[in-house]
Amino acid sequence: MTPAEAAEGADAGQHPAKALDDTVHQRIRLGILTVAHQARRAEFGFLRTTLDLTAGNLGQHLTVLEKAGLVAVEKGYEGRRPRTWITLTPAGERALREEVAQLKRLIHQIETADGA
């Protein structure tokens, strides 16, 4: 499900679990988006250390997020060291906000069901 479809689903009043965006909900990608959101601009190595991932694994997830237009990847040099910086795009910010909102709705729904 794309972020736009997820938002549409949430508006239509369907179960919050169905409105979760698969691209965003995958836990490593959700972690990447969260770190990038807080850091505003995160370096590849920082993401790798913080999320405790291998370079290959992180690279694959970044490619998925970049193709979905949720992150922007900027490559450059600092002195002679190659550096890769990741920033959230406005779509990424929206998708993360929507994911957190859906999770909160899910929790609310579970708690309401438990209380009934």
Partner 1 sequence: MTDASVPLPGTPREVLSGLGELTRRVRAVQRDSWIPLLLFGLVTLGGVLVGRLTFHQETVPCPGGPAAPGDTCTLMRQGSAAYWTAGLLAAYAATAWWYLHRSRRRGVGTPVRPYVLAGAAAVAALAVTTWWGASQPAPGADLDLWGLHLAADARATLLVQQFLGGAAAIGVPLLVLARIDRSRALALFALGYLLIELTPVTFGWWGAAAGPWSALSRHGVPALYLLTGALLFALANRRARPRAAA
102 in Cβ contact with 6 (< 8 Å): yes
By the rule CB under 8 A, 43 interacts with partner 1: yes
By the rule CB under 8 A, 10 interacts with partner 1: no
By the rule CB under 8 A, 34 interacts with partner 1: yes
6 in Cβ contact with 105 (< 8 Å): no
16 in Cβ contact with 10 (< 8 Å): yes
By the rule CB under 8 A, 75 interacts with partner 1: no
* 74 burial type by CB count under 10 A (0-12 exposed, 13-18 middle, 19+ buried): exposed
**At closest approach, how far in Å is the CB of 78 from partner 1?**
6
By the rule CB under 8 A, 59 interacts with partner 1: no
Q: Could you tell me which stretch among 4-12, 67-75, 79-87 binds partner 1 (CB under 8 A)? A: 79-87
For partner 1, the closer CB: 39 or 91: 39
